[in-house]
A = this chain, B = another copy of it.
Amino acid sequence: MTVTSPRGFRASGVTAGLKPSGQPDLALVVNDGPQHAVAAVYTSNRCKANPVLFSQKVTAGGGARAVVLNSGGANCFTGQFGYETTEMTAAEVAAGLTATGNEPVTASDIVVCSTGLIGVGDQTWRDTLLGGITPAINALSATGGEDAARAIMTTDTVPKNVEVSVGDCTIGGIAKGAGMLAPALATMLVVLTTDAQLTPEELDTALRHATARSFDRLDSDACMSTNDTVVLMSSGASGVHPDLDAFTQALTEACQDLARQLMSDAEGAAHNIAITTSGAASESDAVEVSRAVSRSNLFKTAIFGEDPNWGRIVAQVGTTSAEFDPANIDVTVNGVPVCVASGPHADPETVVFTRDVTVDINLNAGDHRATVWTNDLTHQYVEENSAYSS
């Protein structure tokens, strides 16, 4: 259940030597066709990494042969030299695929993703990265997806893979990082594959729908990365053109599965929190309220302390522009209605905490709802992010 589950894909994960730890740091996912359609979404950060600047041009054309991903360096704010490193990486992959395949591949067919420390990318780093590409080509296999998932890990503690079926087609995926698309924590990289026969336009429509309802609603620590990339490739190897709505639904499930895996492995988290706002006048109101709560450090530390502090929740609701009556807000934590009609209700002491926490906010202003997923703010988060330069 990974990127090589759908027919028509090979993958690999090897050690180029970019990580001091010697762990795998270079991954390759190749689309063997017969079709080579691609769609992608990228970080909305205006300070974009070189691989993002390069890959945007590749995927704009609607076709790609492969995605090459490295951990151990973000190649961001590394100037023209860094951009050239990305171009050389793509060219090296294209040359390797041309040499081992049946048709010519060019650098403009290759999507490049990088993750790691910003500002890293000197001559030694470039040489190390390029030196890993031939081994990665040689290691390609139809069962290599999990190796690829492992090679893109940074602070992740477990690799993330997914597989979803839709009729006779399969969707596979790998992911790293813990965060959302925009904004994002440490870089989030996601590669999705499918053997469905779909045009680049259909892939793009499905991907935007799916990411808007999965990664875009994961807000671990409100920090937007310079390198976030979600790329979806279709090989068409199933020979089947699925119903687009069914495919989009399945793709959304796959993305939500990966998003939950990311949240569960977020840096230093002790609780997974699902914040659902209902009774909203619009879906965007519901998202705004849930997201505002997910970004409160006071709320997040309270959950770490297993304190159902609803005062910190309503204080965040009050910072939004959503439609509501400040005198008529309900808050339920893990099923206990601690605040009803904007006043204290059930005894907060009766709330039972486990790893998974649900916060339900009812604005009593309409019929719309939305959930945002986040984590608590813990000692471990502070430790990892103060001691580790990422």
| B318 and A48 contacting across the interface, CB-CB below 8 Å | yes
Which B residue's beta carbon lies closest to that of A270?
A: B386
Which B residue's beta carbon lies closest to that of A186?
A: B298
Q: Which residues of B contact A226 (CB under 8 A)?
A: 311, 314-315, 318
Q: In whole Å, how far is A122's beta carbon from the nearest beta carbon of chain B?
A: 8
| A318 and B45 contacting across the interface, CB-CB below 8 Å | yes
Q: Which residues of B contact A74 (CB under 8 A)?
A: 311
Q: In whole Å, how far is A388's beta carbon from the nearest beta carbon of chain B?
A: 8
Which B residue's beta carbon lies closest to that of A319?
A: B224
Which B residue's beta carbon lies closest to that of A221?
A: B297
Contact for A387 among B77, B296, B305, B326, CB less than 8 A: B305
A359 touches B (CB below 8 Å): no
Q: In whole Å, how far is A299's beta carbon from the nearest beta carbon of chain B?
A: 8
A222 touches B (CB below 8 Å): yes
Within 8 A of B (CB), among A306-348: 307, 309-312, 314-320, 324, 326-327, 329, 339, 341-344
In the assembled complex, the Cα of A185 lies from the Cα of B296 at a distance in Å of 10
| B311 and A76 contacting across the interface, CB-CB below 8 Å | yes
Interface size on A, residues (CB 8 A): 61
A79 touches B (CB below 8 Å): yes
In the assembled complex, the Cα of A171 lies from the Cα of B133 at a distance in Å of 69
Within 8 A of B (CB), among A273-327: 295-298, 301-302, 304-305, 307, 309-312, 314-320, 324, 326-327
Q: In whole Å, how far is A317's beta carbon from the nearest beta carbon of chain B?
A: 6
A21 touches B (CB below 8 Å): no
Q: Which residues of B contact A186 (CB under 8 A)?
A: 298
Q: In whole Å, how far is A74's beta carbon from the nearest beta carbon of chain B?
A: 7
Q: In whole Å, how far is A315's beta carbon from the nearest beta carbon of chain B?
A: 5
| B297 and A222 contacting across the interface, CB-CB below 8 Å | yes
Q: Which residues of B contact A339 (CB under 8 A)?
A: 77, 119
In the assembled complex, the Cα of A144 lies from the Cα of B182 at a distance in Å of 51
A128 touches B (CB below 8 Å): no
In the assembled complex, the Cα of A221 lies from the Cα of B312 at a distance in Å of 13
Q: Which residues of B contact A166 (CB under 8 A)?
A: none
> Looking at chain A's contact residues, is the secondary structure mostly helix, strand, loop, or mixed?
loop
The stretch among A34-42, A101-109, A134-142, A374-382 that forms the contact with chain B is A374-382
| A382 and B382 contacting across the interface, CB-CB below 8 Å | yes
A351 touches B (CB below 8 Å): no
Q: In whole Å, how far is A183's beta carbon from the nearest beta carbon of chain B?
A: 6
| A385 and B118 contacting across the interface, CB-CB below 8 Å | no
| A46 and B223 contacting across the interface, CB-CB below 8 Å | no
| A301 and B224 contacting across the interface, CB-CB below 8 Å | no
Q: In whole Å, how far is A164's beta carbon from the nearest beta carbon of chain B?
A: 32
**Binary CB contact string for chain A from 207 to 240 against chain B (1 if under 8 A, 0 otherwise):** 0000000000000011111100000000000000
Q: Which residues of B contact A297 (CB under 8 A)?
A: 221-223, 297, 377, 381, 385
**Binary CB contact string for chain A from 169 to 200 against chain B (1 if under 8 A, 0 otherwise):** 00000000000000101100000000000000
Q: Which residues of B contact A45 (CB under 8 A)?
A: 315, 318-319
In the assembled complex, the Cα of A378 lies from the Cα of B314 at a distance in Å of 25
5 cross-chain CB contacts under 8 A: A77-B311, A78-B344, A221-B298, A224-B315, A297-B385
6 further contact pairs, Cβ within 8 A, besides A46-B317, A378-B382: A77-B339, A117-B311, A224-B318, A225-B315, A302-B389, A379-B382
Instruction: Enumerate chain A interface residues (CB-CB to B < 8 A).
Output: 45-48, 74, 76-79, 117-119, 183, 185-186, 221-226, 295-298, 301-302, 304-305, 307, 309-312, 314-320, 324, 326-327, 329, 339, 341-344, 377-379, 381-383, 385-387, 389-390
Closest A-B pairs by Cβ, 3 of them: A118-B311, A305-B386, A47-B318
